[in-house]
Each structure stands twice: as C-alpha cells, then as structure tokens.
Chain A
Amino acid sequence: MVQTLDYLKETASQTAGPYVHIGLVPGDAGFDIYDHELGRDIAGPKAAGTRITVTGTVTDGTGAPVKDILVEVWQANAAGIYPGKGEVEDGFRGWGRVTPDFETGVFSFETVKPGKVTGPDARPMAPHINLWLVARGINVGLNTRMYFGDEDAANAADPVLTLIEQPLRRETLIAHADGNAYHFDIRLQGAGETVFFDL
C-alpha cells in the first residue's frame, strides 16, 4: 500500500431541477420573500462603457425553448477588470442571474460591454461574457462564453476561440451584433450545438 492522499472529493453536482427559481429568483416563482433578490443588476448605474442589451433563447435537442433555464453571467467591466481582481466602479457586480420569459423562453439582460481581459500566458482574450447554465435535465451546470459579433479582429486572435478545432463550432459562441443589441442563442444539443467548456 502507498500513503493515502488526504484530499477531499468535490461534492457531486445534481440538477437544479424545475423549481430553481424558488431558491435563486423567488420573484420569478411567484412570491416575494427577500428584501432584494441577488443578481438582478449586473453593471450598476455608475459603470463606464457601452450599455448593451443581450437577448436569446436556449433550445434543447428537439429545438424547443428551455423555458425553465437559469443562466448566471460573469464578466469584467469595460476596462477588462473583474471585481475582486482590481478596482471597479461602485455598484459594478459583474455577475447576474437571467431567466427567460416562462411563455416564450426568450431571455434578455442589460449590462455594459466588457473589455479585453488577460488570458492564459498573458495573451489578451477578446471581450466575452462567461455564462453558466443550470436547469432541470442538466446534471452539471454548463459553462460557455458569449463573444461579440462586432469584434472580428479580437475574436480571430482569441486564445479560447482558436482552441476550437472546427471553425463552424467557433461561430456558436459569437453573438449577432446590431448596434448595442446582441442576439445570442444557445443550443444544448444537435445541429449548431453550442461549445461548452470543462474549466
């Protein structure tokens, strides 16, 4: 026998289930309980940079919208700084919770466009928003990124996008740009399946 490694094992994930809203966004579940719900305001009123709106739909392997999805976003400010890593504007959280309309499955959130942040080996990464998806039927939260369709040069040099071997799959991470409005659909499975990460 050899010595025992005394590391603990990470607690195994379980699906967030159909009623995730009760715990994380109770207003969506139909009742108010907390003085203020967390994750409703990503950038805050004082954040510098371009105000943007992101809309989209998460669809399953049949093409149906996933109406009970909960998406958490994590992003840097317009200067490319994450809260906790450097000074950011007062009220800039960089984090938020997004749920779609229960009837249509369309989600929407407002924030500021993030700046470039430093990637592995000190190479700059193109502006992006980190996303984490949990829902009924998803056993372990899915990590992905949204890049911006009006950042062609930065995207072409991005160390993460260029890790994706198949050029067509890179496109699944790039939001369609229309001025300050971006459209980003996420496909969990099948044709045009979004790239998900093991972080």
Chain B
Amino acid sequence: MSNGDLIQRDRTWHPPALTPDYKTSVARSPRHALLSLQNSDSELTGPTFGQGDIAEIDNDLILNYAKTGDPIGERIIVHGRVLDENARPVPNTLVEIWQANAGGRYRHKKDSYLAPIDPDFGGCGRTLTDDNGYYVFRTVKPGAYPWRNWVNNWRPAHIHFSVFGTAFAQRLITQMYFEGDPLIAKCPIVQSIPEQRAVDQLVAALDLNASLPLDSIAYKFDIVLRGRRSTFFENRPEGN
C-alpha cells in the first residue's frame, strides 16, 4: 500500500463557479465543463517552505505592523490544525492569512471605504504548521464591511486563509467566519456554498479554553485539505 493520487475534489461541496447572487462570478466563471485529469507529478508535487522563508513575528498581527503602539480592536487568537481528509495532520505547511482591521478597512490602495486605516495594523500574517499540523495567529477581530454587490451588502467579519499542503492540487483559499455572526446567513459569497454543513465548517468556534485571561479571546479553526487515496493494487493499464 502506498500513497496514491489525491481523493477527488467533491465539487458539489465546494461552491460552483457560477453563483449569480455573487455578481462578479457571472462574468468570471467558465461556461465549459472542467476537464478531469488523472494526477501526475504536475499535480502531486508542490512548493515547500521552511523557517528561513518567514520571520518569527509574521504570525503576530498585533506586532508585525505596529508603528506607534498596538492596533485598535478586539484582541484574538486564531488557532487550529491543518488536516487531510484521512484526518492526518499536515505538518510544515504554509498558512497565510489576510483581513480588514477592526473597522472593516483593508490596507490596500484599492479599498476606499470611509472607515479609517489603523496606523498600527497591516492585516496579513503567515506561519508554518508544526509537526502536529498546528498553527496559531494573534490578531484583532476584523469588522464587517460593505461591498458593491446588492445595494446594501455587508460581508461578515472574516479572515482569508491560504493553505498549501504537499501537492499543487491541494492548494486552497478560503475564508474563516466567526461563531454567531448574523451576517453569515445573509452573505452571497458564503451562500455560494450549497450545503449548510460545508458553511458550518468555515465558522470558527469561540474557544475559551485557549483564551488568555485578561488578554485575548480565542477562536479555533481547523482546515481540511484533500487527502491521498491509498493504493492497494496497481491499476491495470487502460485497454487491458
């Protein structure tokens, strides 16, 4: 038994490409069917990263852009594990996050929302999972922000996550939401996901056990990447 191809992505679980309530998807979704590919080295290999690629402070968004003091906002810890579908931890993999500040404003030259920039908050971080697949970030809880979709659309508070795994075909970008946020059910981006259980998997749970008393509140967010199929027998070559 050896590690084989990746478990097929369940595209009824992920959002489809065309989700018209999320208006930008209308002109940015392919009309042709995807072409199914058998995995080869091109899909089963992927970039790796080491401690030399990142700095110690990169996972601390309270400190990594502090210019005059700490950023304003609800101090939170976001932590969890990166696992595969076989429930095995994914160690030493790069996790990158980005988010708005406490007022819902991004430090991006294209964001013109009237909520102010926080001079002490950049809004991005990165880290490597440890040997057990664990990661941790410290940050401030992002605010909701308005966006031009429907006239009165507001994104729930969210943190964007980018994760690698060990294969280029495991590459995943997603968004983490916060337990209890009433905007989650109203958001066309969240609701692009067909199944409620798949939405629930994007909602981080309040984690008082990991909170630091008198300092920071914690949320736990586990991420699942595609797993490898076990190959019990070699394939019979096509045509035989």
Determine if B28 and A60 form an interchain contact, defined as CB atoms under 8 angstroms apart: yes
For this complex, into which size category does the number of interface residues on chain B fall?
Answer: 35 or more
A/B pair count, beta carbons within 8 Å: 263
Q: How far is the CB of A91 from chain B (nearest CB, A)?
A: 12
Q: How far is the CB of B237 from chain A (nearest CB, A)?
A: 6
- Out of B47, B122, B224, which one reaches A9, CB within 8 Å? B224
> Which of chain A's residues has its CB closest to B171's CB?
A132
The B125-150 residues at the A interface (CB cut-off 8 A) are 126
Q: How far is the CB of B195 from chain A (nearest CB, A)?
A: 8
**CB-defined contacts of A20 to chain B, threshold 8 Å:** 98, 160, 173
Q: How far is the CB of B72 from chain A (nearest CB, A)?
A: 18
Q: Mark A1-30, 1 if CB is under 8 A from B, else 0.
A: 000001111111111111111111010011
- Out of A11, A93, A132, which one reaches B168, CB within 8 Å? A132
A117 interface hit (Cβ, 8 Å): yes
**CB-defined contacts of B96 to chain A, threshold 8 Å:** 23-24
Q: Which of A46-54, A80-88, A105-113, A148-156 contacts B (4 or more CB under 8 A)?
A: A80-88
> What secondary structure prevails in chain A residues at the interface with B?
loop
**CB-defined contacts of A125 to chain B, threshold 8 Å:** 40, 42
**CB-defined contacts of A93 to chain B, threshold 8 Å:** 47
Determine if B32 and A195 form an interchain contact, defined as CB atoms under 8 angstroms apart: yes
- Out of B42, B46, B224, which one reaches A10, CB within 8 Å? B224
A45 interface hit (Cβ, 8 Å): no
B16 interface hit (Cβ, 8 Å): yes
A90 interface hit (Cβ, 8 Å): no
The A89-107 residues at the B interface (CB cut-off 8 A) are 93-95, 102
A189 to B10 Cα, complex, angstroms: 22
Q: Which residues of A contact B (CB under 8 A)?
A: 6-24, 26, 29-31, 33-36, 38, 60-62, 64, 66, 68, 72, 74, 76, 82-85, 93-95, 102, 117-121, 125, 128, 130, 132, 134-143, 145, 160, 163-164, 169, 188-190, 193-199
